Structure 1
Amino acid sequence: MANNQVIHFIKKLKPYNIQKGLRYLKHYGVKEFCVRLSERMEPEDVPYGPWYEQYRAKPEDLMKQKQHSFKHQPLISIVVPAYHTPDVFLRQMLDSLKGQSYQNWEVIIGNASPDDSRMRSILDEYAKNDARIKSVDIPDNLGISENTNAALKHASGDYIGFMDHDDLLAPDALFEIAIRLEANPDIDVFYTDEDKVSTDLSEHFQPHFKPDFNLDLLRSNNYICHFFVVKRTILKQVKGLDPKYNGAQDYDFIFRCTELSKNIVHIPRILYHWRVHNASTADNPASKLYAYEAGKKAIEDNLARSGEKGSVSMRSDYGFYNVDYALTDQPLVSILIPNKDHIDILKQCIRSLKEKATYTNYEIIVIENNSTEPATFEYYDKLKKDGIQVLYYPEFGFNYSAINNWGVKNCKGEYLLFLNNDIEVITPDFIEKMLSNCERPGIGAVGAKLYYPDNTIQHAGIIIGIGGIAGHAFLNLPRARSGYLHKASLQMNVSAVTAACMMVSRKIFDLVGGFEETLSVAFNDVDLCLRIQKAGYHNVYNPHVEMYHHESKSRGTEDSEAKARRFQTEIEFMRTNWIQLLKSGDSCYNPNLTLASWNYGLRADGKGVKPWTK
C-alpha cells in the first residue's frame, strides 16, 4: 500500500474501528484480515460523505414536501421496542420522527423497562408535546419479538414500519412512502436503502444500496433489513414477529411478509440510519452469534413454505448464507461447445469436464465451425471414439447465436449447458449446482463465477447499463475478495449471465425463441436472459460454480472496420430493443451506483435518486 493510503486510513481510525478490527482479526485470522484491511484502505472512487450530503433532503426540499396536498393520507405507524435506551439515543430517535415532512404518523414505543425513571420522564415529555408519540409499558422484558408484538397491538396505522430504539429515520422517509401510495394504494411492502452513522452522528458511512426485490439474495443475506414497512392486511396474516427467531426475528418476518405480498416496492434512497456503537450488532457482529443461527432457521423455513428443498449453511461472514438446492431429478444435460481449431484449449475444456464432473447423465456436443487445421479433425475423430458428438455446422462464417440454436435442434438434453471452448472446470459438482437451480419453479438461466487465469474475476453476473449496454460485475477483482457487501460471492438474481457458462432448460429456451441471430457475436447472451426475464423468470448467478475462463483480457478489441461496424450494429440493436430498460435501470442493481465501472461504486454523474420536490 502507498504511504499516503496508510496515513489516510489511520486518520479515519476511531476507537470502535480499532475494536472492530481486533474482532475481525480474531475471527477471520491474519490472512483474511489483511485482505479486508487492504479493501478498506483503498480510497473510494466517490467518497460517500460528500455524496450523501449532495443527495440528502435539504430544508427547501422538506418545505416543498410539507406543502404537498395529498388526496389521501394513510396513517403510518412506527413500532419501536425499547429497553433502557440511553437518553440521547431516545431523544434523537424521537426527534427524527418529529422532523418528518409527512405528518400523518404515530410512533408506539414498547417500553420494556417501565421502572427506568429516566426513560419514563423523556417519553412523558415527548408524549405531552405531541399526541402522535405513545408508549406502552411492558412490565417484564419479553424479548425483542414479544416486546414488538406488544407495541403492535396499539398501532392503528394503515401501514406499519419498524425501527430500532437507537436508530434514525431520514426526514423525508415517510413522505417517500406516502407519495408512492398516492400513485398506487395497492403496495403491500416497502423497503429503503440505509447507511450507518457513528455514535455521535458526526459521520455517515457504509451505505447499503439495494436492488429491487431479489429472493435469491434475500436467502443469502437479510439485505432488506431497514427501513421495512408493511401493509396492515399483510401484517394481520403473518400475526406479528415470532420469538422462535429472536435475534433474526426481522429476517423471518420479512420472509413471511414478502411471501404474501404481490407488490413489493424498493425506494432507492438512504432513508434509514443504523447507529453504530459498542453494543450494536452493526459494530460487533460476533456479539449475537445466536442471531445468525436463527437467520439460518428463517431461510430453512422460507424454503419449506415455498415448497423448495435445499440445505442452508452459514458463511464465515456473519449474517451471510449459502443455499444448496436439492436435485429433483437426473435429466439429460446437453453441453454445447462451439469450436474452430485451437484444439489445445478445447482439449483442456473437455479433459476438465471428463475428469471433474460428478454428474453422469450428460452429453458433450462439439459444434464444429469452419476449422481448417488437419490436427483439429484428427482430434475430432478421437472425441467420437470416446462417445463425444461432433456436429458440423453447415453455414460459413461465425454467428454464435445461429451456431448454438442449430446445436440445440440437434441435441437431446432436457437442459442445455452453453459452454465456451476455453472454459476449465474448477467445481466438480457444477452440473448439480446449476441444474438444481434450473429445476426450481420460476428460474430461467443460471450462470457461474468465472476467473481469468491470473485468478481475477472475469464474470460475477451482468449489470445492465454498465458501459452503455451491459457489463460484468466485479471485473478484475482478485479472487480472494468478495466485493461490495460480498455480492461477488453470494447467490442472487441478476438480469443476465454470460453464455460462456450458462444453463437453461430447453423448454424456456424454446419458449423465448433461442438466441437472437441478429446478434452474431456480442450481447446475444444478455438479450436471451432479458427475454427470459421478460417472460416472467428469474436468472441466477451462482458463485459456488467456479470456472477458469482462459480468455485474454484484451479479447474483444474490434481491430477491423468490419468488426467495428458489426459491433455498432449490435449495440444499436440492444438500444432499440431494450431502450426502456436501459432508461429505467437494472432492477437487480441500484440507480445510485455507477454505470461507468464494475465495482459497485457511487455514481459521479449527478444522476442518483434525489428527494421528491415536485
Structure 2
Amino acid sequence: MHSYHHWHPLALPDTTLLRAGWFLIQGTLHARYPRGETRLRWQCGQETWHEQILPVTRRGTLLELVWLPVGATEVGLLASSEGTEYQLSIVRFAQVSAGNSLMRRLRRVWHFYQRLDAQKRKRLGLSWHLWFTDLQQAYQLVGKIRDDRPLHAYEHWLANFDTVQPGERRLIDRLLARWGNLPHVCLHLVKGGDEASRQRTLTSIAALCYPTTHITVLEQPPAAHRPVGEWQWAIPVGAELAPAALVWLSHQLRQTPNAQWIYGDHDLLDGKGKRHSPDFKPDWNETLLQSQNYIGWCGLWREQGDKSIPQDGAESYRGWFQLARQLAPQEIAHIPALLMHVPDTLPMQDSYESLAAMLQDLPVGVTLESAPHGICRWRWPLPAELPRVSVIIPTRNGLAHLRPRIGSLVQHTCYPNVEIMVMDNQSDDPETLAYFAHISKEYGVQVISWDHPFNYSAINNAGVREATGEFICLLNDDTEVINPLWLDEMVSHLLRPGVGIVGARLYYGDGRVQHAGDAVGPGGCADHFHSGLAADEPGYQRRAVSAQELSAVTAACLLTPRELYLSLNGLDEVNLPVAFNDVDYCLRVGEAGWRIVWTPFAELYHHESVSRGKDVTPEQLARSRGELRYMKKRWARRLKHDPAYNPNLSYDRPDFSLSHTPNVVLPWTS
C-alpha cells in the first residue's frame, strides 16, 4: 500500500518569528490505516528546511512542545499514512513561557520515568541525572515511547537495542568471570560457500564476547570427527553470529540448567551486509514447527550420539523434529535475542515436499499436504467412531443473523455427529419464535430457553450442562461456515494428546481476517492477531497461515472437551459475564497444562458483535471496566509475557511491529 503525505500549515503570531521560543501544539490525528511519522517542518532562510518528529499517542492525541528559532517561517505539520482516510484537527498552536515549558517537560519525563523499570530506563538512555544535565534530550527520549507510530525503521531499532557498546563488553567480561563453569560450544561450519563468506563467518566468531578456550570451530565434514564440546551449533557459511550470542546461551542455562535444546531469534543479511527482516520467534511451539521451520539455523543442542550435524536446511529441519520427539517441552528454551544473522540468499527448506521426504516415522494416521506460502499442513486422523460435538449458539431475537447461520451450519458442515443447541436469551419476536419451532422440527435443533438478563458466560455454561456431546463447540450466532470441513479439522486437532482447546480462522464479511488467534498482554489485555489482514497474505513470518499453539482463541468459534470445561467450571459468569471470558478460560486451560491450538484450515465468517452491539450505556461501560480490572489483576503476571509472541515486539498492539521499549533484560546490565 502506498504512503500518503499530508501537509497542514500552522499560523505563526507574525509572518516570520521575531523572537525564539517554545510553542505548544495540541490536536488529534486519526488514520484508518497505520500511520507513519508526524513531523513539524519549518524554514529558516531561503532554502533551509528543518524537521522534528512529533509523537502521537495510540488515541491520536498530539500534545507537544517544540522550540522554534528566530526567523522560522512556513511552519506546518507533515504527516504520513498508508492510506488516504486521514483526519487531523489542530486546536491549539501558541507560544508559551519558558517556565510553562519547563514544568510541562518535567511532568512528562517524570511520568515516564516512574512508569519504566530500571532496565528499560537504561536501554532508553533515561538516567536520573539527565533531567538536570539535558532536560530536552530526556523529553525527546520519552517522546519515543509516547509515539504510537509502528516502528518499522529496523536500523534505528538495532542502534538503540542491539548494539553492544565498548563499556558493555567490560561488563560482559566481568559477568562471565563471576559466573565461571561456562559451557563449551562447538561451532560447525556447513554448506560450503566462497572464501569471502567463510571469512565473514570466522570474523564474527572471533568477535564473540566469550572465552576462546570454550569455543571449538570445525570446518571439516563432521562425519569424520566426533563433535567436540558440550553444545553444538551448525553455522551455514556466510552467516554471522551476534557478539553476545554465547553470553545469552550461558545466561539461559543459568535460568534453565536442564535445557537440552536452546534456540534464539535471527535476522537476514542482504548482499551488502545490511541486516533486515528480523524473525522474533515465540517460545517453544511444536505445532508451529510442524507447519514451518521457524527455528531455522539459530538453534543449539547438547551433544547427543544420535544427532548428526545438518549440512543443509532440510537436514536442519529434520534434526529439530528429532529433538522435539526426544525432549520434553521443559527441556527446550527460547532466547528472545538476535543471536544470528543469516544471508537472505540462503534457502531454508521447510516446504511440504522436503518434509515429506525426510519424515518416515510420522504419528499413526497423519498425512502431510502442501499449503499456500510454503506451509506444510498436517492432517490429523479422525477415528472410525466420531465423537459427538454439541454446538452451542446463544441468541436473542436474532432471526436475521440466526437463519443464515443455522442454514450454513446444517447444509455446509460435513461432520455428521453434531448436536445443535440454540440458547434463547429472552427472545420475544414472533418470527424468531416461529423459526425456533421450524428448526426444531426440520433439523432437530434443540432450543433451550434461558430467561435471565444477558450473561454470555452463564448462557454457555447452562448449554454445556444440557449438552450430550463429548466435545463442546461454542459458536456465535453471527458466524457463517466457509469451509465444510471446518469441524473435522478442529476435532482432529482436539484429539491430539494434550490439546484442550482448538480455535478457527475467522473473517470479516469483506474477506479480511478478523481473528487468527488471540494475543494475551499486547494491546493491554487481549487482542486478535493479524486483524484486518488480507485473506491471501501470510502475515508476520507466515504465522497467519500456519497452525500453531497460542495463549488464547475467541469463543466465537471454540472447541473443547466437555469434561475439561466442566472440571474448570466453564466460563466465569461472576467476574466476566460478557467480555474476556473466553480468554480467561483459555488461560485456565493452559494453566492446567493443556495446549491451545489455532488452525487456519477451519474457516468461518464472523460478523462481529452484530447481535449484541457495542457497550455504550454507563452501566455497560462500568461493567466493561470492571471486567478489564479483573483480568489485569487475575492474570497480572501472565499479561507481561505471551509465550506465543516476543518481548522485542510491540506490546501496545499485537501487530508484530518492533517495540519502542523491548521487555528484554540484558544479562550484563541486570
Fold in common (TM above 0.5) = yes
Residues 1:82 and 1:412: Cα distance change in structure 2 (over 3 Å): closer
Query: Which residue pairs with 1:193 in the alignment?
Result: 265
User: The residue matched to 1:433 in structure 2 has which SS?
Assistant: helix
Q: Which of 182, 187, 200 pairs up with 1:78? A: 187
Query: Which residue pairs with 2:287 in the alignment?
Result: 216
User: The residue matched to 2:373 in structure 1 has which SS?
Assistant: coil
Match for 2:269: what amino acid?
V
Q: Deviations over 1:421-451 (max 9, x none)?
A: 1111000011110100111110011111111
Query: Which residue pairs with 1:29 in the alignment?
Result: none
Q: Deviations over 1:26-48 (max 9, x none)?
A: xxxxxxxxxxxx99xxx964321
1:4: how far off? 6.8
Structure 1 position 506 matched with structure 2 position 613: no
User: The residue matched to 1:210 in structure 2 has which SS?
Assistant: coil
Give me the identity figure in percent.
Answer: 31
CA distance in 2, matches of 1:342, 1:456: 24
Match for 1:150: what amino acid?
A
- Asked if structure 2 preserves the Cα contact closer than 8 Å seen for 1:210 and 1:589, the reply is yes
Q: Which of 161, 168, 171 pairs up with 1:55? A: 161
Q: Which of 180, 186, 198 pairs up with 2:252? A: 180
CA distance in 2, matches of 1:606, 1:3: 27
Query: Which residue pairs with 1:334 in the alignment?
Result: 390
Q: Deviations over 1:450-506 (max 9, x none)?
A: 111111111100000122110000111122212111211111111110000111111
Q: Which of 308, 321, 341 pairs up with 2:376? A: 321
Match for 2:510: what amino acid?
D
Q: Give matches, 1:57-456, under 5 Å.
A: 57-68=164-175, 69-81=178-190, 83=192, 85-103=193-211, 104-111=213-220, 147-151=221-225, 153=226, 155-201=227-273, 203-232=274-303, 235-236=304-305, 238-241=306-309, 247-262=313-328, 263-277=331-345, 280-281=346-347, 293-298=353-358, 300-301=359-360, 304=362, 307-318=363-374, 320-328=375-383, 329-456=385-512
CA distance in 1, matches of 2:188, 2:197: 16
Residues 1:470 and 1:301: Cα distance change in structure 2 (over 3 Å): farther
CA distance in 2, matches of 1:239, 1:190: 15
Structure 1 position 484 matched with structure 2 position 540: yes
Match for 1:191: what amino acid?
Y
Match for 1:225: what amino acid?
G
Query: Which residue pairs with 1:545 in the alignment?
Result: 602
- Asked if structure 2 preserves the Cα contact closer than 8 Å seen for 1:308 and 1:440, the reply is no
What's the RMSD between the two structures over aligned residues?
2.4
CA distance in 2, matches of 1:446, 1:67: 48
CA distance in 2, matches of 1:391, 1:555: 19
Q: Deviations over 1:48-89 (max 9, x none)?
A: 121122121222222211111123112111112253x32222
Corresponding pairs, count: 521
Structure with more of its chain in strand, by fraction: 2
Match for 1:311: what amino acid?
T
CA distance in 1, matches of 2:595, 2:406: 29
- Asked if structure 2 preserves the Cα contact closer than 8 Å seen for 1:71 and 1:182, the reply is no
Query: Which residue pairs with 1:19 in the alignment?
Result: none
Match for 1:426: what amino acid?
I
Residues 1:164 and 1:292: Cα distance change in structure 2 (over 3 Å): farther
Instruction: Single out whichever of 404-413 and 308-317 deviates more from structure 2.
Output: 308-317
CA distance in 1, matches of 2:425, 2:524: 31
Query: Which residue pairs with 1:18 in the alignment?
Result: none
Match for 2:334: what amino acid?
H
CA distance in 1, matches of 2:638, 2:249: 24
CA distance in 2, matches of 1:431, 1:182: 44
Residues 1:179 and 1:609: Cα distance change in structure 2 (over 3 Å): closer
CA distance in 2, matches of 1:53, 1:63: 19
Structure ID, larger Rg: 2
CA distance in 2, matches of 1:553, 1:96: 56
User: The residue matched to 1:424 in structure 2 has which SS?
Assistant: strand
Q: Which of 559, 581, 584 pairs up with 1:527? A: 584
User: The residue matched to 1:551 in structure 2 has which SS?
Assistant: coil
CA distance in 1, matches of 2:290, 2:420: 33
Residues 1:184 and 1:467: Cα distance change in structure 2 (over 3 Å): closer
Length-normalised TM-score, structure 2: 0.74
Structure 1 position 573 matched with structure 2 position 630: yes
- Asked if structure 2 preserves the Cα contact closer than 8 Å seen for 1:163 and 1:226, the reply is yes
- Asked if structure 2 preserves the Cα contact closer than 8 Å seen for 1:81 and 1:148, the reply is no
CA distance in 2, matches of 1:346, 1:4: 41
- Asked if structure 2 preserves the Cα contact closer than 8 Å seen for 1:189 and 1:229, the reply is yes
Match for 2:317: what amino acid?
Y
Unaligned ranges ≥5, structure 1: 6-37, 112-146, 283-287
Residues 1:54 and 1:309: Cα distance change in structure 2 (over 3 Å): farther
Residues 1:611 and 1:54: Cα distance change in structure 2 (over 3 Å): farther
CA distance in 1, matches of 2:373, 2:381: 24
User: The residue matched to 1:219 in structure 2 has which SS?
Assistant: helix
1:333: how far off? 0.8
CA distance in 1, matches of 2:262, 2:237: 20
CA distance in 2, matches of 1:540, 1:334: 19
CA distance in 1, matches of 2:474, 2:569: 16
Structure with more of its chain in helix, by fraction: 1
Length-normalised TM-score, structure 1: 0.80
Match for 1:535: what amino acid?
A
User: The residue matched to 1:579 in structure 2 has which SS?
Assistant: coil
Q: Deviations over 1:132-158 (max 9, x none)?
A: xxxxxxxxxxxxxxx34435x1x3211
CA distance in 1, matches of 2:4, 2:486: 43
Unaligned ranges ≥5, structure 2: 6-81, 84-148
